[in-house]
Every structure is written in structure tokens, then in C-alpha cells.
């Protein structure tokens, strides 16, 4: 909670709601002090006092360390969500609520439209986003105008903090906000929101169709290798096939963003006509008579490093340290490194695909090592080992908007990743509590 009008209104509305419907639920207000303005610490104390007066638990989290010289806004956002998720985990809370409004949504749509977005981004912010595959971030005020929230606060004689960066036109969002406030702003906001609603429906529909194709045409003969039936490239729903291919390429290559739509469309067209070998998004595409095979290329793989709890290895595997065992307890220490070509030659192969394909895919998969000894191959079952290395759905591993749940779940089934948590749209378990930012 920043102390601004939007977060203050959300906190009060949420407190009223829980008092009437779920008084046993835990409500925690969190203020993230990014340390970017001299007044931020004092503002956090004002918020703490506001919460204390109303009997609301409150915590201040600080973004420490060096700040980047470029991409500051994105870095601050990533740090904020990470701190919020850690606070929620510490309290066994599975839901984070933020105060994004209809005004924020309109600004987001216009910003993405100005960047010649491919259409997915025009859906704007999702009503709910699964963060780090474990915590839902919910935006319950996306359909509410900021002016209505401020009117509510004035009626209650409650003031709020004005963040000067909200009007600092050196940044993109304040520039868009200022432009929206001029010349028929109500109509322009309404148009942007309507555009977002249409784009969200189209994105969900396309995701559903892509998920159907992934379920029908994709298989995983060995860890790290995806096989698409040749008929996939010729499917009549070309738009869904392109979208499915983009998601699969990003997953296999460990990319957080989907590859360019036009390049994928060109690749799919070539796949219809002939066998080929190409690379896109760190993924080798090897089309043969027996299928279209996708595997991680064997370049720029992570260097050997100790496992980090809840870390992402190559953005393709999620690491978890199991139990109370520490790496120091393991003789010789533990590192995660690619299996490598030599060890891949000793790994079990599939009779369904050529041995050369299996070995090339397995060589790029992570394995657990103690010195020069391979402790376990993460493409299999780590069993009793102290480290779990589970598959991840790379483009959605950090942020999974509810628009994309169906294709994300289809890919999770394909690669053996845990299925995403169900969205919190149909009620709430009061025993789990709420986290409010």
C-alpha cells in the first residue's frame, strides 16, 4: 500500500468486505519502499500509522541494493512483486490484491498500442495474474474509475498521499496520463477499456485453440525434446498453430517472451513444405519425415552453479531445496550444470526418435553434480536427492495472466511441470488470508 488514493480506497473497501463476510481472514497491508525518493520512508510511516489506527497489520518492505541506470521502472516493478510474494509466503497467504484502476488499464492499453503491440498486450492488465507459479495477484478495481474512489475517500474525510512521480513526464505513463486528461478524456478512456475487453476475449479464445492443438499434436519422447506431428504444420487453424508454435519455442528455449509472430508464421509455412533445420528463440527446429522436433540449442547454457531455492535454471527448470538439508551437508558440494554430450551418450534413449536427437536434447538438460560425479539427472526423477529440478513453462514462469491459463496448462502437461493453481474467481478460503499492496 503506497498511501495513494487507489491503494487507500482498496484497503478500506477490502477491510469493510472482510469484516462483514470473513472476519477470521488475515489482512496484511504491505508498503514497498523502493528508496527512490527522499520522502518515501516518511510516507511509509504515515501508511503504518493509518493501518494501526484501524487495526490492520502492516509491514514495510525495502528494495535494497544498487539500482539499475536503465530500465528502472521495470526493475522496481519486478522487485516489488518479489517482495510482496515473499511477504505473502511468510504469512501463508495465497492472494495479493493491488489497487490498479480503470484509468491505469486505459493508460496501459494506449502505451502498448503505441508500441505496435501484436495484439496480445492490448488486453491490458489481467484481472488476476499468477506470479512465480505460486501466488495470485488480483486487481479487483480494474473496472472502477479513480475519480469514484477519490469521491468515496472524500466522503469519509480521508486524505491520501500524492506521489510526484505520477506527474513526472520524463516517464511514459505520466505522459500518457496527461494526454488522456485532455480533449474528450471520458470517451478516450471508454474506448481504450472496450478495446481491452475485446482483446482479452480474443486472447482467451486463441489460447484455447492453441491448447487444443498442443494437446492433440505435441509429445515429449525424452526430457528436453518436443515432437510435433507433421500434420500440425498443415492444420486449418493457422492462427492457432502459429500461437502454439510461439509458446512451444519460448518454452523449449527458456525465453520469457514469445518469439516474433511474423517470423513464426514464416517458419510454419516452411514446415508445411519441406524438411528443414532452423533455430529460433534458442530452440533448434528439426523437421523430418517422422515429425517436427524442438530442442534447446547447445549454446549459451548456464555455467555450473549451486542451486538456489525457487530459482529458475535457464528459465526452463524451477529449483527447490528439499527439507532442511543445506548444500554444505553434501560432500563436495552440489552444482547444477548441463548434462553434456558425454553423459548424454550414457542416458536412456527413446526408441521412438533417432538417438542423435535424443542425445542432443538431453545434453542441454540440467543435472545435479557433486564435483565430477553426476548425482542425478534432472530429466528423470530426483527422488531422494536434496534438490528438486522441476520443468517450468518459460514464457509464463514468472507472470501467468489469467488470459493464458489454457495454453499454459497444456504446455505444463506436455513438459511435466506442475499445473498452474486455479484462479481465485469463485470465492475465497478465509483461512488462507489476504495480502494487500
Mean pLDDT by 10 residues, the chain (437 residues): 91 95 92 86 92 95 85 86 92 92 94 79 94 94 96 96 77 83 87 94 97 98 95 96 98 97 95 90 95 96 91 94 64 84 82 89 91 71 71 97 97 97 64 56
Tell me how far apart the alpha carbons of residues 364 and 368 are, in angstroms, rounded to a whole number. Answer: 13
Q: Which domain holds residue 236?
A: 200-298
Whether 226 and 83 map to the same domain: the answer is no
Whether 153 and 76 map to the same domain: the answer is yes
Whether 168 and 125 map to the same domain: the answer is yes
Cell 531455492 appears where?
309
Whether 170 and 87 map to the same domain: the answer is yes
CA angle 363/378/279 to nearest 5° reads 40
Q: What are the CA-CA distances from residue 434 to residues 7, 62, 84, 200 (Å)? A: 14, 20, 12, 26
Model pLDDT, residue 65:
82
Phi and psi (nearest 5°) for 376?
-160, 150
Note whether residue 414 is domain-resident: no
Cell 484509468 appears where?
103
Q: How far is CA 398 from the centre of its chain?
A: 3
How many domains does the chain fold into?
3
Note whether residue 111 is domain-resident: yes
Model pLDDT, residue 426:
55
Note whether residue 402 is domain-resident: no
Question: Which residue, 251, 266, 298, sits at the end of a domain?
Answer: 298
Helix axes 185-217, 238-253, angle to 10 degrees: 80
C-alpha cell at 349: 534413449
Whether 166 and 22 map to the same domain: the answer is yes
Question: Which residue, 238, 268, 298, sits at the end of a domain?
Answer: 298
Note whether residue 253 is domain-resident: yes
Helix axes 146-155, 5-21, angle to 10 degrees: 70
Contact, 141 vs 99, CB < 8 A? Answer: yes
Residues 202, 204, 206, 209: what is their CA dihedral angle, to the nearest 10 degrees? Answer: -140
Whether 58 and 112 map to the same domain: the answer is yes
CATH code of the domain in which 80 resides: 3.40.50.620
Neighbours of 132 (CB within 10 A): 18
Note whether residue 411 is domain-resident: no
Note whether residue 292 is domain-resident: yes
Model pLDDT, residue 410:
98
Whether 149 and 82 map to the same domain: the answer is yes
Whether 103 and 146 map to the same domain: the answer is yes
Whether 239 and 316 map to the same domain: the answer is no
Handedness of CA 146, 149, 153, 159 (dihedral sign): negative
C-alpha cell at 378: 534432472
Distance from the first to the final alpha carbon of the chain: 4
Tell me how far apart the alpha carbons of residues 42 and 238 are, in angstroms, rounded to a whole number. Answer: 55
Whether 240 and 279 map to the same domain: the answer is yes
C-alpha cell at 286: 528439426
pTM of the model: 0.91
Among 125, 107, 80, 81, CA closest to 166: 107
Note whether residue 307 is domain-resident: no
Note whether residue 396 is domain-resident: no
Whether 16 and 159 map to the same domain: the answer is yes
In the three-class reduction of DSSP (H, G, I as helix; E, B as strand; rest coil), residue 229 is classed as coil
Among 101, 85, 117, CA closest to 166: 101
Phi and psi (nearest 5°) for 235?
-60, 145
Cell 519422447 appears where?
221
Cell 506527474 appears where?
167
Model pLDDT, residue 432:
46
Whether 104 and 223 map to the same domain: the answer is no
Among 285, 187, 301, 297, CA closest to 233: 285
Amino acid at each position: 500500500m503506497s498511501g495513494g488514493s487507489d491503494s487507500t480506497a482498496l484497503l478500506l473497501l477490502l477491510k469493510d468486505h472482510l469484516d462483514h463476510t470473513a472476519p477470521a481472514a488475515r489482512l496484511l497491508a504491505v508498503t514497498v519502499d523502493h528508496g527512490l525518493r527522499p520522502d518515501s520512508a516518511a510516507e511509509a510511516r504515515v501508511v503504518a500509522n493509518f493501518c494501526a489506527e484501524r487495526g490492520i497489520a502492516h509491514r514495510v518492505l525495502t528494495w535494497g541494493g544498487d539500482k539499475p541506470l536503465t530500465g528502472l521502472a521495470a526493475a522496481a516493478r519486478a522487485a516489488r512483486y518479489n517482495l510482496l510474494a515473499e511477504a505473502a509466503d511468510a504469512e501463508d497467504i495465497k492472494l495479493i490484491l493491488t489497487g490498479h484502476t480503470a484509468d491505469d488499464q486505459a493508460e496501459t492499453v494506449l502505451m502498448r498500442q503505441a508500441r505496435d503491440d501484436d495484439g496480445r498486450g492490448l488486453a491490458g492488465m489481467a484481472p488476476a495474474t499468477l506470479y512465480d507459479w505460486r501466488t495470485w495477484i488480483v486487481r479487483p478495481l480494474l473496472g472502477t474509475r479513480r475519480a469514484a474512489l477519490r469521491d468515496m475517500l472524500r466522503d469519509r474525510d480521508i486524505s491520501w498521499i500524492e506521489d510526484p512521480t505520477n506527474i513526472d513526464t520524463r516517464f511514459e505513463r505520466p505522459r500518457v496520463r496527461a494526454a488522456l486528461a485532455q480533449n474528450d478524456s471520458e470517451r478516450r478512456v471508454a474506448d481504450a477499456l472496450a478495446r481491452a475487453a475485446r482483446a482479452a476475449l480474443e486472447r482467451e479464445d486463441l489460447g484455447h485453440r492453441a491448447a487444443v492443438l498442443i494437446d492433440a499434436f505435441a509429445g515429449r519422447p525424452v526430457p528436453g525434446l518436443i515432437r510435433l506431428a507433421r500434420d500440425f504444420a498443415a492444420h486449418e487453424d493457422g492462427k492457432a498453430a502459429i500461437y502454439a508454435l510461439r509458446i512451444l519455442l519460448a518454452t523449449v528455449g527458456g525465453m520469457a517472451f514469445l518469439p516474433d509472430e511474423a517470423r513464426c508464421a514464416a517458419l510454419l509455412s516452411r514446415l508445411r513444405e519441406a524438411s528443414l533445420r532452423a533455430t529460433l528463440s534458442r530452440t533448434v527446429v528439426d523437421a523430418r519425415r517422422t515429425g517436427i522436433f524442438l530442442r534447446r540449442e547447445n549454446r549459451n547454457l548456464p555455467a555450473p552453479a549451486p542451486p538456489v531455492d525457487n530459482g529458475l535454471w535457464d528459465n526452463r527448470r524451477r529449483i527447490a531445496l528439499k527439507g532442511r538439508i543445506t548444500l554444505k551437508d553434501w560432500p563436495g558440494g552440489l552444482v547444477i550444470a548441463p548434462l553434456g554430450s558425454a553423459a548424454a551418450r550414457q542416458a536412456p534413449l527413446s526408441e521412438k526418435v533417432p538417438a542423435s536427437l535424443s542425445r542432443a536434447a538431453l545434453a542441454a538438460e540440467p543435472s545435479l553434480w557433486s564435483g565430477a560425479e553426476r548425482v542425478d539427472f534432472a530429466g528423470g526423477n530426483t527422488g531422494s536427492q536434496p534438490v528438486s529440478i522441476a520443468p517450468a513453462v518459460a514464457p509464463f514462469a514468472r507472470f501467468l495472466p489469467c488470459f493464458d491459463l489454457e495454453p499454459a496448462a497444456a504446455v505444463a502437461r506436455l513438459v511435466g511441470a506442475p499445473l498452474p493453481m486455479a484462479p481465485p474467481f469463485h470465492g475465497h478460503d478465509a483461512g488462507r488470508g489476504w495480502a494487500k499492496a
